[in-house]
Amino acid sequence: MLHRALARTAVLLALAFVAARPAGADDIVFPPGSRIGLVPPPGVTPVSAVRGNPNVHGFEDGPDATAISILELPAQVYGEFEKATSADALKKQGVTLEKREELTLKDGKGILLVGQQQAAANVSLRKWILVASMPDLTALLTVEIPAAAKSLYPDEAIHAALASVTVRKSVPVDEQLSLLPYRLGELAGFRVVRIVGGNLVLLTDGPEDSIEAVEQPHVLVTVGVGGPEDATSRQNFARNLLAGVPSFKDVHLTSSEMLRLNGQQVHELMADGKDAKNGADLKIVQWLKFTGGAYMHIVASAPATGWLQAFPRFRAVRDGVGGK
């Protein structure tokens, strides 16, 4: 009990210090994978998936069940939130509004709402909601503090944390790659164009950042859940996956082979096809590996004239994909 009391006193002193001084750039913490950051109150830890949700970044305090959730939304929805955050609208969500404040932020402006929410029969939450208009996005931040932890997170400290919200131009590629559920160990000279949904990576080599640039080779790596168990169904599954890639049309299989790589079976399909938009001739390869109730899907394409140079690099990317 004494140790717990001393710990609470130390945290309260730290909170008072944070609230009393201006936030500096070095104090900003960006949760892994998030463009939105802030100066967090002591006691919370940055996480890439708040309460297990891969689409929500933020901070958590496990022992006290306190969470700061950060959601990145399109810039144009800010106006809708301005209209939908009235006391009546929040009451329908179970939140009793106590305070509404307009904030001037480093990279924009925001509406801060503070209130109480009865989350369950015996669970009362101190609720903070910040809707922030940033240069190219809307940030929605929610802070939930159980009544039992309120003394650890006083209003002054939470207000200071939310007032420090800022945005970075992009999430570093290495940081994004570190969050993938698999290891991308070899890029073979390709560069990362986009990472989508925390599991899909698009690679290319050339000046354009669009998959529609058919004069460049492209590699797409992703994982999916499930898949058939028997060999025949897996062959059909592989063909359907390739046929369903929206970037291709007039796809004609030229070979189908079962490979064995690192002790695992890999379905390889080779095909000729055309770009879905401009009809340019393409050569395509797809590799599909089933493992542990999931499947690894790699599909690569290149102009027919550059296929011989691109294919060995595609295989190098394939061979570098592994588990963590």
SS (H, E, C) 181-247: CCEECCCCCCEEEEEECCCEEEEECCCCCCCCCCCCCEEEEEEEECCCCCHHHHHHHHHHHHHCCCC
H/E segment holding residue 202:
strand 200-204
Give pLDDT, residue 289. Answer: 93
CB 214 within 8 A of CB 278: yes
SS3 of residue 184 by DSSP: strand
| Structural domains of the chain in order of their starting residue, each with its CATH number | 2-167 (3.40.1000.10), 173-322 (3.40.1000.10)
DSSP structure string for 3-25: HHHHHHHHHHHHHHHHHHS---G
CB 64 within 8 A of CB 44: no
Of 257, 247, 254, 287, give the one whose Cα is nearest residue 271.
Answer: 254
* Mean pLDDT value of segment 159-185: 93
pLDDT confidence band for 10 (50 / 70 / 90): very low
Residue 171 amino acid letter:
V
CB 40 within 8 A of CB 46: yes
Q: Round to whole Å and give the CA distance between 262 and 321.
A: 11
Using one digit for the tens of pLDDT, what is the confidence trace for 249-271?
A: 999 999 999 999 888 889 999 99
Compute CA distances 279 → 118, 213, 247, 272, 288, whole Å: 58, 12, 10, 12, 26
pLDDT confidence band for 24 (50 / 70 / 90): low
Enter the tokens of residue 204.
């290319």
Q: Is the pLDDT of residue 191 over 70?
A: yes
* Mean pLDDT value of segment 135-164: 93
* Mean pLDDT value of segment 20-28: 60
Give pLDDT, residue 239. Answer: 94
Give pLDDT, residue 229. Answer: 84
